[in-house]
Each structure stands twice: as C-alpha cells, then as structure tokens.
Structure 1
Amino acid sequence: MRLVISREALIKPLQLVAGVVERRQTLPVLSNILLVAEGDQLSLTGTDLEVELIGRVQLEEPADAGSVTVPARKLMDICKSLADDARIELELSGQKMMIKSGRSRFSLSTLPAHEFPNVEDSPETFELELPQSSLRRLIEQTGFSMAQQDVRYYLNGMLLEVKDGELRSVATDGHRLATSVSAVQTDAGSQQQIIVPRKGILELARLLQGGDESVKLVIGANHIRANVGDFTFTSKLVDGKFPDYQRVIPRNGDKELLGDRQELRQVFSRIAILSNEKYRGVRLTLNDGVLQVMANNPEQEEAEETVSVDYQGGHLEIGFNVNYLLDVLSILNSDVVRFTLLDSNSSALIQGYDEPEALYVVMPMRM
C-alpha cells in the first residue's frame, strides 16, 4: 500500500473520523483508524462499536491498493504538525506505516485490517431526506437537554420522531425538556420513533454543514445511517422506551410573560454569580409589569435585580435552576421570549416569540 496526498485534503476527514475514536479502549484496534486505498480513493474509518464514521478522499494520483489500521491520535497529531501546504506520502512497509513529508520521517505501528470491527447492519426500514441545515438546527435546538450518564439509559440520547410529514427531535434529562420540529417529505401515514445515543448525535452534528445540501437518513431496526457528502455515519440505536413527551408539555398555563431575551439572559447571568454552586437556584417574583430575580448562597451572600417585562397575571413566586433558563435563552434566536406559567409548582413553558417550532419545558425548584 502506497499513496501520496496533500495535508489539506487529509486533515478534515482525519479529524472527523478520529473524533469518533475513544481515547481509552478495551480492544487495541479500536484506538486505530482503518485506511483503505483503492484506485484514486482513500477511505478512513473510525469506530467505538456504537458509532462508526467513514470518510472518503479523492487522491490526485492512483494509489497502490491495500488496507491497514494505524493509531488515530498519532496520525492526526503528525498531520497537524506539518506545514499547511505539505504533501504526505504514506507507505506500508512490513508491520510499519512509513510517513514522509519534506524532510520529516515517521514510522507508525499498525494492526491488520481484518481485525477492525464494523458496526453490523440491520435491514433498512425507512428512508428520508432533508436539508443539512434543518437537521443541524433540530439537533442544536434540543441537544443541550440530553441527559449524561443517567441510569435511565434511554434519556442519554435524542428521540427522533417522524409523523404527519414532520421530523421532531426531543431531548430531556428529567428536569427539563426541549423539542423542535421540521417539515420533511415522507409517505402519507408513515411513523417512526428512534432514540439515537448522545455520542451519535454529537458526532452527526459535527458532520452537518449549515447549507442547503441534503442529508439522507436511513433507519434500520437497530441502527441509523446518514450520508453526508463524502462521509457515511452509522450509529446503533438505544433500545428503550422514551417518555411520552406530549404529557410533559404544560397546556394549562394562564400567566404569560414577554421579555427581551438578551436582557433577561444578562440579568440571569449576573444573579447566577451568587446562587448556590451546587443547586444553582434563582427565585423569580412576578408582579404586573415587573420581574424580580433573586439568588443567595450558603455564605449568605445575595443578589437581586428587577427588570421591566410585559406581564399582567398577578403575583407569582417561582424558583428555577438558572443554568436551565440560560441554556434556553442562549439557543433561541428571537428578540422576545415568552414564558407561560401556571403556579409555583408547575413547569414553565418557554418559547421564542418568532420560533413556534421549538418548545422548552423547565421544571420549577423548591427554594
């Protein structure tokens, strides 16, 4: 196996593929990426047995065909350290991968390609295509609410639901919920619900560009595949039942607050400085036209600020984890944000004024 490639052509696919590879591995071969040269194409594959990413690069001149696995991090660090306009020669010599560029010479250990595992396929059951920007927006608007290492393993991921010509993303960690929706073209009456693991969602988001190019999603019984440009992404699905998110969304709120998103975000950020570092609680006190935000901590330090808002619902006191509020205000684009509330024990429904497709639910805190 021998090939010549420019650093510029290799670095992007290498970084994306190496991102899938975990630093600490049970199997030595999982720390490696699989290189396959054939004709004028080089393919790179990385996996952690749950998520797999294959990137393809066109070569300027045909390669001597072959396949081998090399350490992902070391190959990436070598490529990063070379000059931007460098040309890189890769040649397999016995058990070593020889890398030459200018006056630099490196020899990397290898493992045989046949030891490299691939994520096994399941029969395809469903396909859909949508713009990359739409899928990326769905992930951005909801991804921050995914749980991390929760014992309820089905929360450590994102629900993707296809129904009535819409693709909906839902994420929750049990304290808050985020959901967004985008129109897609599907067969009438087709329905699908899958849970994609957290790592799969994060890696897919890195792949997606903001443009109008489309991404094709293929859903199987226990995997999802996305074809994005020169990359093929595959992730296993989480086998579990996602909570009924429709029951979580409050429908009976009778108090509505409208406020300037950036102003509220700055107020919450300031008050958060003196909130309890562990619980991050802030108390919101609402009276007609005025919102008072307060926080204190075990050192008996206090912060308080009032802000003018559009609110005519009478007196209400309610506590929240300020981080959850800031996450929502950071992800919205609207200038005006709407809070719909019922009482101090009921969840708040938060929306951007011009973003009806995204809904956020935050549970209250006892203060």
Structure 2
Amino acid sequence: MTIAIFKAQRDVLIRPLQVICGIVEKRNTLPVLSNVLISTGSDEVRFRSTDLELELMAREAIQTGQSATELLVNARKLLEVVRAMPDAELTLSTSEKHLFVRAQGSRIQLQLANPDDYPLAARNGDDSEPVSVKAGELKRLLHSIHFAMGDNDLRYFLNGALLITGPRLTAVAIDGHRLATASIPLVGDAKHSEIIVPRKAVLELIRLLPDDESSVCVETSMRYAKFEFANVSFACKLIEGRYPDYTRVIPTSFEAEFSVDRLQLLACLQRAVILTNERFRSIRCVADDGKLTVFASNADNEESVEAIQIDYLGANVELSFNIRYLLDVASTLKTDRLNFRLSPGNLSALVSAQDMGDFKYVVMALRG
C-alpha cells in the first residue's frame, strides 16, 4: 500500500534539491549524511541536508493536504531522478520502505532510510545577534575576498573568513602570503562582533546568495552562524580561535605607486603564467616611467617579456611576486583599473580599485 505525499511540477522540486545537494558529499564516512530529510506540512515542504559542519534547508510552498510527515532518502539519487522525469507534474508517494516518483507512465522506486537516524538541526541559542544585509552586496563582498582564504592551513583559524559587524560588515581573508579585506553597509545598527566562517561555508554562500536587493538575516552565536534568505536557511559551525590582527599587515607608507588597466594586466599575466615554474610561479616586475614590464622564465630556458602601459612617475622599482596571487585579484575584481602602492623596501604591494574604495589586497613580494 502506498500513501501519496504531494504533487508538484518537476522544476519546483529541482530548485530545493539543487540547493541542498551543494553540501552533500558524493562519498560520506557516515552513510546517513548522503540523504535529504523531507518534512511536509499542510502548505509547505522542507528539504534539509547536513555534513555536520554545514546545514542547508530549502522550503517550497507545496500543498500536501497531509499531516506532518518526515522521510529520509538519498539526496543525489532523488535529484537525478527528478531531473530525468518528464517536464510535468510529479507525484511522490511512499510505502513502508520506499519512495515512489511517478510521472506520465514512469515510476521510479527509491529506498527510504529511518528519519530518526538523521542528525538534529543546528540551534543558535539565546546569545544570537541578528543583523541584516542586502543579498547582492553580501555575495560580492565574499566573492571579493574568498581567494585569499587559507586552504588546509595548519593554522586552522586561517581556513575561513573573518566577519566583523558594526557599524559595517567587514570581511577579511588571510593565507599567510596575502590579505584581502572589504566591507559593506549593514541595514540598521549592530553590536560589534567577530566570527570566523569556514572556507566551505563561504564558498557555499557565494553559490547560493541571489545577486539582488533582497534581504539576508545573519544570526550569530558562540558556535554557529545562520543566514536566512529567500526560501533558504543556511547554518554553519564557526571556527574557534583568535584571528590575527589584520590591520598590522596593511602598509600605511609607500615609496611608489601606479595604476594599470585590469584587463590588460590580466591578459599579460595569463600569457606569462604559461612559462613560469610549476612549483614556484615566480615573475619579476619592473615599473618605470610609463610602463610595467613582466618577466617570466623556467628551467628550460624559456622566457616571456611583456610591457604594458601604466600611470606611473618615479624611480625604477623592481620586485618579484607569485603570479597566482596577482592573477587571483586581477580575475576576481570587476573593475576597470587596479591601483598598486609599494611599501618601503619593496616588501609588499597594496592593491585597491578606484570604484571599490573599501577593498584592500596586500600581497607579499618574493625575496631573492
């Protein structure tokens, strides 16, 4: 005997399943984490996934006409099944051990798991402090700094982004060789707080956030952060630890500066990276009156030399960089020109953008 749960158009079901599958690993040490928990009410269906560090819930307004029901089924299989169905209304029903997906003569049967085995939802607690930001601004903020986050760094607190509230929302990323920071306005007042959001959570937010003026409610506590927007609720465990004082890394005095067309610089770097050493990726940059010359070479005695125009007046300056660090900023920012200011002794460069006044990117120069 089967019991009908609800009916919905295929595309209505694809949307929430695509959202929650973003954090479902293809291979899990705990098989239960490969599943999606589907909860029904009279006028809403909720889809929840978790990897124990991140949690996603997507809601869809679907009339079920049934009392509250919970079922647990493999998330990726269900998404693939729904995608493969005809573009029509789908009927989902269950027996004691199976979920059935039907449409226009097709019927696919999936194994159900015990919903009691699924981890409980994250709870923020009474110490949470909600703030509000615009979705598109938060998406661009995180995108502008994400490339500078640590990745499997032994200093675990660098494997994420620092978010600081009050009076603006500031994001900071450091990997030990470079720093990126930017800020956006908050909607209303907010108390000062600092949290470290894991790298995977930052990347997932960039994927999920809409690029529009809709509101995002950000709720934080000692252990969790929760982001509510549209029909999505996203929660993550925070990284515990003390983030470095990033302001000490940003140089305040300079001995040379220039501005360069971003797309010209990007094209130049994309050509130069072809000939750099696979391990070190080092390039030499020489700035003088009106031009920046980029030199790249490798152990096979191959070489690339290219000069591009810059707005620069001053003494000649020569220093080396990891080309990947320059490529990251040139390819990520959507701006016409990049400004470079060189610290005394050519220890680092501070990169900013004329139309992104709050963005700062510090990249350390290579020695020797």
Q: How does the TM-score come out when normalised to structure 2? A: 0.95
Q: Partner of 1:56 in structure 2?
A: 59
The alignment partner of 1:11 has SS state of helix
List aligned pairs for 1:241-256, cutoff 5 A: 241-256=242-257
List aligned pairs for 1:117-266, cutoff 5 A: 117-123=119-125, 124-163=127-166, 165-187=167-189, 190-266=191-267
Which whole-Å CA distance do the structure 2 matches of 1:323 and 1:245 have between them?
21
Residues 1:119 and 1:239: Cα distance change in structure 2 (over 3 Å): farther
TM-fit CA distance, 1:299: 1.2
Deviation per residue, 1:319-339 (Å, 9 max, x gap): 011111111112222212110
- Corresponding letter in the other structure for 1:178: A
Q: Is residue 339 from structure 1 mapped to residue 340 from structure 2 by the alignment?
A: yes
The alignment partner of 2:113 has SS state of coil
Which whole-Å CA distance do the structure 2 matches of 1:121 and 1:186 have between them?
25
Q: Which runs of 5+ in 1 are unaligned?
A: none
Indicate which of 82, 85, 105 corresponds to 1:82.
85
Q: Which runs of 5+ in 2 are unaligned?
A: none
Which whole-Å CA distance do the structure 2 matches of 1:119 and 1:280 have between them?
44
Which whole-Å CA distance do the structure 2 matches of 1:77 and 1:344 have between them?
57
Conserved 8 A contact 2:253-2:344: no
How large is the Cα RMSD of the aligned pairs?
A: 1.5
- Corresponding letter in the other structure for 1:291: L
Q: Partner of 1:363 in structure 2?
A: 364
The alignment partner of 1:273 has SS state of helix
Which whole-Å CA distance do the structure 1 matches of 2:256 and 2:67 have between them?
70
Conserved 8 A contact 2:122-2:235: no
- Corresponding letter in the other structure for 1:306: A
Q: What fraction of aligned residue pairs are identical, expressed as a percent?
A: 37
TM-fit CA distance, 1:19: 1.1
Which whole-Å CA distance do the structure 2 matches of 1:160 and 1:186 have between them?
17
Conserved 8 A contact 2:57-2:232: yes
The alignment partner of 2:99 has SS state of strand
Which whole-Å CA distance do the structure 1 matches of 2:227 and 2:155 have between them?
26
Q: Partner of 1:108 in structure 2?
A: 110
Which whole-Å CA distance do the structure 1 matches of 2:269 and 2:30 have between them?
46
TM-fit CA distance, 1:63: 4.0
Which whole-Å CA distance do the structure 2 matches of 1:238 and 1:194 have between them?
8
The alignment partner of 1:117 has SS state of coil
The alignment partner of 1:277 has SS state of coil
Which whole-Å CA distance do the structure 2 matches of 1:159 and 1:345 have between them?
27
- Corresponding letter in the other structure for 1:161: I
Conserved 8 A contact 1:283-1:318: yes
- Corresponding letter in the other structure for 2:41: E
Which whole-Å CA distance do the structure 2 matches of 1:169 and 1:297 have between them?
36
Which whole-Å CA distance do the structure 2 matches of 1:27 and 1:267 have between them?
47
TM-fit CA distance, 1:90: 1.2
Q: How does the TM-score come out when normalised to structure 1? A: 0.95
